[in-house]
Amino acid sequence: MTFHAGTAAATAGFILICAIGSFAARPDSLKLAACRAAAVSVAGWTEQKDGFRSFGTKELYDLIDGGAVEYEKPGLVGGIVFELAAADNRSAKIYIDDFGTRARAQSLLKEKRKAASDPKPLAGARKADGFTDEVIGGCVAYASSESFYFELVLTGYDKPDRSKQDAKAFVETLVKIVK
């Protein structure tokens, strides 16, 4: 059997392309874990047992059914979700998604802003980087930084303004990690 240098080079190239492709398809798990740890360390909040899940696109369909479409479309690579609680009945469900590129994460944020019922600026964030939308008992905060997209559901509040203050604190903490 003759060994061809060209074949070897092509094979090596194929393996390299596969390796790069495989690497590119994985979320930055170190940064995701660091984000989780940082959010948990925000004063007054405790992580809830059984509230953590990591997901790719397929698992996101299990979590949020048809809602997953709008995350898959701009190119979700993967993410995590976890829940925190504070002593006075406040709770926070935090989704952190890695989209691989800043442009993709920003494109989802733009779509979310378009779909929001009454988007308001997220205190401390540039208009392009985050906003909040009130829900009954709190708010949902949306933000992005680098290749990451953040969605925080804050409930258990008597006054929406307080939920927005908490959103600001969480988002500032998360942005510091991914910058």
Partner 1 sequence: MASAAGLAAAGLFPAFTEEIKSGWIDKKQINPNIDNLRVVSCRAPGMISGDPRKWDMASQNAPVVAERVIRTMDALAIGLSQKATPHEAWGAIFRKPESKEWQEVRVAIKLNCLGDNHPRVAVVDAVCRALVSLGVPPAGIILYDGNGNARPLYGPFAGNGILAGVAVSNKNDLLGGMTAAPVPAPHKGMFKCTAAIANGTIDILVNIAVNKGTSYAGTTLTMKNHAGTFEALPIHLGGGLDYIIAFSKSDALLGGSPVRQQLCIVDSIWANTKGPFGVPNKRPCVLSMGTFSPAVDYLVARRVREPLMGCSHPPALSRIMSEFGYVNFENLDMVSVDPVA
User: Two tokens at 134?
Assistant: 């009130």
Q: Does 80 bind partner 1 (CB under 8 A)?
A: no
For 46, the enclosing helix (H) or strand (E) is strand 45-47
Q: Which of 32, 157, 168, 178 lies at the binding interface for partner 1 (CB under 8 A)?
A: 157
Q: Which of 92, 125, 140, 178 lies at the binding interface for partner 1 (CB under 8 A)?
A: 140
Using CB under 8 A as the binding criterion, the count of chain residues that bind partner 1 stands at: 25
Contact 39, 173 (CB under 8 A): yes
Per-residue binding letters, 18-57, with partner 1 (x by CB under 8 A): ----------------------------------------
Sequence letter at residue 93: K
DSSP string, 97-157: EE-SSHHHHHHHHHHHHHH-SS-EEPTTS-GGGEEEEEETTEEEEEEEETTEEEEEEEE--
Q: Which of 77, 80, 82, 91 lies at the binding interface for partner 1 (CB under 8 A)?
A: 91
Q: Which of 135, 146, 162, 172 lies at the binding interface for partner 1 (CB under 8 A)?
A: 135
Would you say 28 or 47 has its CB closer to partner 1? 47
Sequence-ordered list of residues with C-beta below 8 angstroms from that of 4, at least 6 positions apart, any chain: none
Which residues contribute to the site for partner 1 (CB under 8 A)?
61, 63-70, 89, 91, 115, 117, 133-138, 140, 153, 155-158
